[in-house]
């Protein structure tokens, strides 16, 4: 007997549309997990937790200062983490006002443990925040996928856009495959805008795992990504 899914109908997304993170998880998911991803994308909940959004904004704003002394970045992360923990104290521990602050504080501290790795890859570039452009997306096989990088990397004193940076602050570690799909979508977004980014300069930082991934050659990702999108499109019609 096929598994029946109970769908609480509220908002319905008519055309196939999926977040970058959910798309990155789709390809290696089980059949049931894939179905859940599509159902949740077509019938999204009105509640979207933003546990790490504060950390992401602090990190992007701080790196965008482009300090000569990179120690200052990580000193600022520690300072901001302490502030967030203090601000969380008055709120109930089971509410978002508490969770958003404490989890973002933990994310900032996790990044300080990656100081050496981050300095190595980021020092050559001028760094610009891209978090205001949250609605950027790209279409693959008629499926719209979120494609907003967190930061953009430039060379030649900021004149030449050469790469991008995406942060993962969730405590669940990303797989290499998830990172490859995520970076491919981000790279493709800029390619379709006429900007050929250097794959070696497209990074995903998995903060709690302490890992940094680089984009892989699209030849290994393009067709599997298209296959996933064709599946999503077909499943979208059936649910």
In a domain? residue 35? no
Co-location of 88 and 137 in the same domain: no
pLDDT over 50 (residue 1): no
Co-location of 159 and 224 in the same domain: yes
In a domain? residue 105? yes
Co-location of 132 and 108 in the same domain: no
Check if the beta carbon of residue 232 is closer than 8 Å to that of residue 18. yes
Tally of domains in the chain? 2
pLDDT tens-digit map of 170-189: 998 899 999 999 999 999 99
SS3 46: coil
CA distance 165 to 201: 8
Co-location of 88 and 171 in the same domain: no
Domain final position from 113, 143, 163: 113
Task: Record the pTM.
Answer: 0.92
Identify the band that residue 7 occupies on the pLDDT scale cut at 50, 70 and 90. Answer: very low
Co-location of 96 and 190 in the same domain: no
Q: Which domain holds residue 90?
A: 53-113
In a domain? residue 23? no
pLDDT tens-digit map of 219-239: 999 999 999 999 999 999 998
CA distance 50 to 207: 16
Report the chain's terminal Cα–Cα distance, integer Å. 17
CA distance 231 to 233: 5
What tokens appear for 161 in the block? 């856009």
* Residue 108 phi, psi dihedral angles, 5° rounding: -65, -45
Check if the beta carbon of residue 197 is closer than 8 Å to that of residue 187. yes
């Amino acid at each position: 007997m096929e598994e029946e899914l109970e769908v609480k109908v509220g908002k319905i997304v008519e055309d196939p549309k999926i977040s970058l993170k959910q798309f990155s998880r789709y390809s290696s998911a089980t059949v049931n997990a894939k179905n859940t991803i599509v159902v949740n994308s077509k019938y999204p909940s009105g509640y979207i937790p933003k546990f790490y959004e504060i950390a992401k904004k602090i990190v992007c704003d701080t790196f965008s200062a482009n300090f000569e002394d990179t120690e200052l970045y990580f000193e600022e992360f520690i300072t901001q983490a302490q502030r967030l923990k203090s601000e969380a104290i008055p709120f109930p521990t089971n509410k978002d006002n508490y969770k958003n602050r404490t989890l973002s504080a933990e994310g900032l501290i996790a990044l300080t443990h990656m100081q050496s790795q981050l300095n190595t890859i980021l020092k050559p570039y001028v760094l610009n925040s891209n978090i205001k452009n949250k609605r950027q997306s790209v279409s693959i096989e008629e499926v719209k996928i979120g494609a907003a990088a967190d930061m953009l990397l430039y060379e030649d004193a900021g004149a030449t856009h050469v790469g991008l940076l995406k942060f993962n602050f969730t405590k669940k570690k990303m797989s290499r495959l998830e990172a490859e799909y995520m970076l491919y979508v981000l790279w493709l977004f800029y390619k379709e805008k006429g900007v050929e980014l250097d794959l070696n300069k497209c990074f995903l930082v998995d903060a709690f795992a302490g890992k940094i991934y680089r984009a892989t050659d699209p030849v290994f990702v393009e067709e599997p990504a298209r296959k996933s999108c064709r599946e999503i499109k077909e499943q979208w019609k059936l649910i």
